[in-house]
Structure 1
Amino acid sequence: MDSVDRRSFLATTGGALAAGVAMNTLGAHAAWAEAGRSDFHPGQVGYGELRRTKSRNTGEELLALPEGFTYIVLGKTGTPMTDGVATPIAHDGMAAFPGTRRDTVRLIRNHEVRTTPGSPTGRVYVEGSERYDELGVAGTTTLEVDLRSGEVLRHFVSLNGTIVNCAGGMMLHQRGWLTCEETTAGPKQGWKQKHGYIYEVPLDGPQPGKPAASQPLKAMGRFSHEAVAVDPRTGYVYETEDDSGKPNGLYRFRPTDPRNLAAGGVLEMLKIKGRDGYDCREGQKMGARLPVEWVRIDDPDPDLENGAKTCTQQGLAKGGAKFNRLEGCWYGDGSIFFNSTSGGDAKNGDAPGADGYVEGYGQVWQYIPSRRDGGTLVLVYESPGRKELDSPDNLTFSPRGGIVLCEDDASDADADPHPLAPGLENVNRLIGLDPGGQPFEFAVNISDDSEFAGACFSPDGSTMFVNALGSTTALEPPGRTYAIRGPWRRGPL
């Protein structure tokens, strides 16, 4: 769901080097897969064999990790927060910012709550706050964490009155978090307002009991949003779309004022130059460079309740390129990287979608902007099968240039058991890439079959935070946030 890592490491010391290392790793990974390699041995690369590991603060066996790595559980569903609200359900996209004090980190975390309008079950809600939709059940929470002790210093609702907050991305200059609704539901589905928008969650401002006002940025588009990444050179915001069962688009928003997204701008969809309706979902060659142009979305806030054309339909009618389930999105080394969770030629066995496309095991794309023309699109990796990588969702780059992909096992047909998680039919993992391009297992969710999401590293690189989604409609299984520490420099992350 959420999140390529939303941070631009180019803004930190050593960031350009880290992004360059990541670029080389992705290139090696593409070559590894393109050569038809099948020698995937999870314990022989990365950090070695995984073992079932107990949480240091709860004593539960929830994750399998390599030797030397430990974790604690933060913000489990139902845990009372500083503002008196119970931690909501459905932990999803997330970003890590410098904390208010030394050796602290601030996390802003999405909650993809999918309950009915106004339902109290696991909702994100603060009485008397300024909410866009009074019946909204989703939003964001903010956590301040002491990196040394792992103690949660405070945690609270930072935005409410929205629905299905899936992923998002860091705002320009790390001023806050852009949280995205993965839906286009509205009054016809029982809500008081139309949905399908992006909202700002300022880094500074929200306090316990006083969340930020939820104001939709309508010029940025009304569609089933997933993640965003901001190009710090231009302020352009790149947006992925995740609407299952139909073609999706990659969008960019050119703001009138990059520091004030509410001032409006122009929304566009990516098109392969001279190739109307180019299908990026299958039949692609890794490393091939595709010239890009952009087509304008004339009505970014369509009145879907009265039959207006969707943003996707508008873009495709002008020749926009087709993708499948675009999810995580990250900026680094002058490029935008994004995942297509179910793209690719190796198929996962699910039934065809509405237009006959049969889902694959996933792709990773790179868009290279250019001041001279529309830029270039490159397929940097395509999964050859479920053992190597099954349905990449979030994509995280570490400060050292390592790469982690969060799995969201999207197939109903292809069972995905794991020896470390007996009794679970569809197991989700964190997959790392070594410098030679070979994938390796870094973590396995052995607690339940929910996906990993929101992976991000603390600014000092000492801790990786990641969510287990849990249920999006019930209290069980609970959502959890993990803080993982260990000998990172021993391996490629």
Structure 2
Amino acid sequence: MERRDFLRAAVVGGTVATLGFSVTRESIAYPAKTGPSPYGALQAADANGIELPAGFTSRVIARSTHAVANAGYTWHSAPDGGACFADGAGWIYVSNSEMSSGGGGVSAIRFDASGNTTDAYRILGGTTRNCAGGPIPWNTWLSCEETDFGYTWETDPWGVKAAVRRDAMGQFTHEAAACDPDRKVIYQTEDTSDGCFYRFIPTTWGGLSAGGTLQVLVENGTALSWVNVPDPDGSPTPTRDQVTGAKIFNGGEGAFYRNGTCYFTTKGDNRVWAYDAANNQLHVAYDDNLTSNPPLTGVDNITGATVGDLYVAEDGGNMEICIITPDDIIAPFLRVTGQSASELCGVALNPAGNRMYFSSQRGTSGSSSGGITYEVTGPFRTSL
């Protein structure tokens, strides 16, 4: 048996990664192994200090405490998780602000069909440590507070409707959310060393105003199940401690759902997990201890392209966004130089999949007021 196949079938972190499921192009041989990027080697750093593959270019879209071009709106400090939404022939990029003491929130930048910025504005304010979140199918952005009794807020990328706090989704150290329209649930990660993996079942699919049920993933031997959280408000007992046998994850970070699988990251052990929702199985898609010269450390936000590639941003490491291909090869896609006191976050692709957005949360200054939001354009893959 090949080493990678053996590792996939082994018991990893108390979870059996079995071979008994449908093998797809997105799950050929977990865990991912270090290899060559489909885009080739990184080139010398450009004028923005970013090393990119040949044919790709970068530009600065916004800087914290500075006005966004053609908008007159001052971009927020500590930019973090983000996503893109289609807006006619253009699109909107939303970005969280991970500021404390009510200084957080969410801002948005609107682009026309040519990629020019045309507007920028705030869609949520007065909240705390808005870290990651996730888009949901009815074109709203869930922004999550990373604090002990944090909430999930539903926001309008167009800034027309007021943001709404969704209490039923639980009070805990929220990180990211990923919508599973097939099972009509929303997965959530928890950023603590003894955090859990949750799913929220809305009472009425297509909206969150009617509330719903919060559940936590439970492990009993090799079997997984979902159990209701008795007190989603986390008081007096934290949600992660309310259900016996709840599966523990070391520092939950980004989450992204595609084709029956929710991929999510844990920073404490530098892993990318793959929850196979269709078969209710959990797999380790990447572990920096299970490959030579691991390119990805400090795993954080994650997103994916329609072609099947995953992109994972680093909080630390050597400031890279790494690509994980459908044949389970992992390699650097880009590297930011001269910003070792920052972290990369908010990685997202525009609806056409030919532009990538991300932020360096503290930029070259190492301060939250020095955040920089970038765009990368180039020949992103449209087929394998």
Shorter chain as denominator, the TM-score bin is: 0.7 to 0.9
Secondary structure of the corresponding residue to residue 239 of structure 1:
strand
Query: Which residue of the partner structure matches residue 95 of structure 2?
Result: 109
Query: Which residue of the partner structure matches residue 74 of structure 1?
Result: 61
1:278-306 Cα offsets, whole Å, 9 max, x none, are xxxxxxxxxxxx43112221111134xxx
User: Structure 2: how far apart are the matches of 1:230 and 1:52?
Assistant: 38
| Pair 1:490–1:375, CA change in 2 (3 A) | closer
User: Structure 2: how far apart are the matches of 1:436 and 1:217?
Assistant: 38
Alpha-carbon shift at residue 435 of structure 1 (Å): 4.7
Query: Which residue of the partner structure matches residue 382 of structure 1?
Result: 287
Query: Which residue of the partner structure matches residue 336 of structure 2?
Result: 445
Query: Which residue of the partner structure matches residue 47 of structure 1?
Result: 39
Match of 1:199 among 149, 153, 166: 153
**1:225 has 2:174 as partner:** yes
**1:213 has 2:201 as partner:** no
Secondary structure of the corresponding residue to residue 66 of structure 1:
coil
Matched residue type, 2:164: Q
TM-score (norm 2): 0.85
| Pair 1:476–1:319, CA change in 2 (3 A) | closer
Query: Which residue of the partner structure matches residue 418 of structure 1?
Result: none
More relative contact order in 1 or in 2 (CA 8 Å, sep 6+)? 1
Q: Percentage identity across aligned positions?
A: 29
1:394-431 Cα offsets, whole Å, 9 max, x none, are 2221122222111112xxxxxxxxxxxxxxxx521011
Query: Which residue of the partner structure matches residue 29 of structure 2?
Result: 28
Secondary structure of the corresponding residue to residue 381 of structure 2:
helix
Structure 2's unaligned 5+ residue stretches are 1-22
| Pair 1:294–1:435, CA change in 2 (3 A) | closer
User: Structure 2: how far apart are the matches of 1:48 and 1:234?
Assistant: 37
Alpha-carbon shift at residue 196 of structure 1 (Å): 0.3
Match of 2:313 among 403, 406, 409: 406
Structure 1's unaligned 5+ residue stretches are 1-21, 34-39, 55-59, 118-135, 185-194, 276-289, 344-361, 410-425
| Pair 1:489–1:214, CA change in 2 (3 A) | closer
Alpha-carbon shift at residue 376 of structure 1 (Å): 2.2
User: Structure 2: how far apart are the matches of 1:49 and 1:369?
Assistant: 35
**1:144 has 2:110 as partner:** yes
Structure richer in strand, relative to its length: 2
1:372-397 Cα offsets, whole Å, 9 max, x none, are xx922222332226633212212221
**1:159 has 2:124 as partner:** yes
| Pair 1:83–1:69, CA change in 2 (3 A) | closer
Aligned residues of 1:77 and 1:475 also touching (Cα < 8 A):
no
Instruction: Give the number of aligned pairs.
Output: 357
Which aligned pairs between 1:297-376 and structure 2 lie closer than 5 A?
Answer: 297-303=229-235, 308-315=236-243, 318-343=244-269, 362-370=270-278, 375-376=280-281
User: Structure 2: how far apart are the matches of 1:381 and 1:52?
Assistant: 27
User: Structure 2: how far apart are the matches of 1:438 and 1:331?
Assistant: 19
Which aligned pairs between 1:51-62 and structure 2 lie closer than 5 A?
Answer: 51-54=43-46, 60-62=47-49
Aligned residues of 1:324 and 1:340 also touching (Cα < 8 A):
yes
Aligned residues of 2:43 and 2:53 also touching (Cα < 8 A):
yes
1:68-124 Cα offsets, whole Å, 9 max, x none, are 11011112112225775421111111111112x32x11111111113xx3xxxxxxx
The structure having more radius of gyration, on CA atoms, is: 1
User: Structure 2: how far apart are the matches of 1:229 and 1:168?
Assistant: 8
Query: Which residue of the partner structure matches residue 183 of structure 1?
Result: 147
Secondary structure of the corresponding residue to residue 483 of structure 1:
strand
Structure richer in helix, relative to its length: 1
Aligned residues of 1:25 and 1:433 also touching (Cα < 8 A):
no
